[in-house]
Amino acid sequence: MRLPLAVYGAVLCLCCAPILSAQDAAKVDAKHYTVLSENAEVRILKVHYGPHEKSVMHHHPAGVAVFLTDSKARFTFPDGKTTDVDVKAGDAQYTPAVTHLPENLGDAGMDVIVIELKGKAAKAEKMEMK
């Protein structure tokens, strides 16, 4: 009886590992993410991926992404699903909290400014969505 329970526990741990290990992008992928500024309300990240580079699975709170270059990227999510995007320099978009693994699909560098909401700004955003 104990062996099957142990096997189920191991399988559960393996399935949850990508979600549980998803961490702060600036800590787990300092090669691509640089903190430009941070206070109680926001954290501003400079993101740079070289051609065909990819990250590791990580998490971002709700925020805004401003694309500085024309880019093609793929985002892989913990459940294995992917989304491909094609953005132009100057495009900006709101993003809810997300755990993902980004990959630059292009032959040129990809540059993005990510503004993560926190503190009062994040709470106000959650209230507006109700």
Q: What is the pLDDT of residue 119?
A: 76
Domain with 49, as residue range(s), is: 22-128
Q: In this structure, is residue 42 part of a structural domain?
A: yes
For residue 50, is it within any domain? yes
76: its two tokens: 């892989």
How distant is the alpha carbon of residue 110 from its chain centre? Answer: 15
Domain count, the chain: 1
- pLDDT digit string (tens) for 81-108? 999 999 999 999 999 999 999 999 999 9
CATH number at residue 92: 2.60.120.10
Question: What's the pTM?
Answer: 0.76
State the virtual CA torsion across 28, 31, 37, 41 in degrees, nearest 10. Answer: -30
pLDDT tens digits along 14-69? 444 444 445 999 999 999 999 999 999 999 999 999 999 999 999 999 999 999 99
Residue at 43 is within a domain: yes
